Amino acid sequence: MSDLLDINDLRAGYGEAVVIPKMTLQLGESQVLALLGRNGTGKTTLINSIVGVTRRFSGTLKLGGKDITSLRPDQRARAGIGWVPQERNIFRSLTVEENMTAVAQPGPWDVKKIYEMFPRLEERKNNFGNQLSGGEQQMLAIGRALTLNPQVLLLDEPTEGLAPIIVDELLAALGKITRAGGICSIIVEQNAQKILGLADRVVILERGTIVHDATSAALKSDPAVLEHFLGVAGAAGSKNKHAAGTPG
């Protein structure tokens, strides 16, 4: 099977700062990749580079065999890049339903299917974005990304700051999304234990470079790897990330 997402020799960052010195990474259809690493190792920068909001110094990106390197972020979204950033970026002055219909593209993921996935959104479909709880906003951000019917779904710390019961609900939904097939997913998550059961592949970054690439099963059977690359704090949470102010 050919790669759905193909990143080749990507060098990217912000302004004059290079955060990712050289990155080559491929993902196949239906593959779920967990992107792990300590704070400031380039996880969010890689996500942002796929979206197209960083400075690319060199390298190429292909989606479904099509070169998207020169496309703007909005063009990449229409080409099949679905993005759920940490800030969620929902339209706060639009209703839940308007948030999704405003960006929807034809395909299997429509508003009705999103409501089946997140019944809470249907209950609040006429509420404005600024009237939702944090968990509901995250559900909406995921639902909105899916109504684009993307080939690649990018989620940057989707469970951060949410109550445990909401985290469980979101992870269960993400499991259903990935099992539905047709897309590949990259999920940035500080807590490795949360995501190992969902992902089938794990990549660990250090200084914008891949230092470990293995199946989730292999990593589960070798916890010493998590201790070595992430440490106890890295595997348990992300309390200091925003305090540090360092791009992830």
CATH of the domain at 122: 3.40.50.300
Q: Is residue 23 in some structural domain?
A: no
At 35 the pLDDT is 96
Count CB-CB contacts under 10 A for residue 134. Answer: 13
Would residue 131 count as lying in a domain? yes
Is residue 139 one of the residues assigned to a domain? yes
Considering the domain boundaries, does residue 15 fall inside one?
A: no
Q: How many domains does the chain have?
A: 1
Handedness of CA 205, 198, 166, 151 (dihedral sign): positive
| Cα separation, 21 vs 50, whole angstroms | 15
The vertex-149 CA angle with 147 and 151, nearest 5°, equals: 145
- Asked whether residue 178 is domain-assigned, the answer is yes
- 100 phi, psi to nearest 5 deg: -85, -40
The verdict on residue 175 lying in a domain is yes
How far is 177 from 191, CA to CA, in rounded Å? 20
Place of tokens 């899916």: 146
Q: How many degrees, rounded to 5, is the angle at CA 215 between CA 213 and CA 216? A: 115
Q: Dihedrals φ, ψ of 185, to 5°?
A: -130, 145
Other residues' Cβ atoms within 10 Å of the Cβ of residue 113: 15
Q: Are 144 and 176 in contact (CB under 8 A)?
A: no
- Residue numbers of the chain with a pLDDT score lower than 50: 232-246
Q: What is the DSSP letter of 42?
A: S
| Assigned token pair, 139 | 């559900």
- How confident is the model at residue 247, as a pLDDT? 55
Task: Tally helices (H) and strands (E) across the chain.
Answer: 12, 10
**Structure tokens belonging to residue 192:** 């490795």
Instruction: Give pLDDT, residue 237.
Output: 40
Give the pair of three-digit tokens for residue 33: 């990749």
Is 212 domain-assigned? yes
Domain range for 238: 31-41+83-244
> Amino acid identity, residue 64?
G
Cα–Cα nearest to 190, from 228, 215, 160: 160
Residue 175: its pLDDT value, please?
86
Are residues 12 and 20 in contact, defined by beta-carbon separation less than 8 angstroms?
yes
